[in-house]
Amino acid sequence: MDLERPPPRSRGIYLLPNLFTTCGLFAGFYAIIAAANSQFTAAAIAVFVAGIMDGIDGRVARLTGTSSAFGVQYDAGWPTWSASARRRRWSCTTGRCRR
């Protein structure tokens, strides 16, 4: 059997899905900071951008065939942290924070 091998991918293409994940991570951080400064419209937009980036990164990894064990863990870890930090910040701003 003569199987054709696809041409080797450049090393930069492997960073693309993680770049989307990192952009979503920074958008989540910005949402927390904006909400702390009472800029709720900016925080809502940042949360929306973070959600879009979270949806795109897995698709890009599958589309380019560059999924890895690190990428799976990186993609699974930051939304969990970001969501818990946003909930914590929200509960503290509404007076429901246990200290």
Which pLDDT tens digits describe the chain residue by residue (99 residues)? 556 766 666 666 778 888 888 898 899 889 888 888 888 899 889 989 988 988 888 888 888 888 777 777 777 766 666 666 666 665 666 565 555
Position 43 scores a pLDDT of 87
Position 70 scores a pLDDT of 78
Task: Give the per-residue SS3 of the chain.
Answer: CCCCCCCCCCHHHHHHHHHHHHHHHHHHHHHHHHHHCCCHHHHHHHHHHHHHHHHHHHHHHHHHCCCCHHHHHHHHHHHHHHHHHHHHHHHHHCCCCCC
Position 4 scores a pLDDT of 73
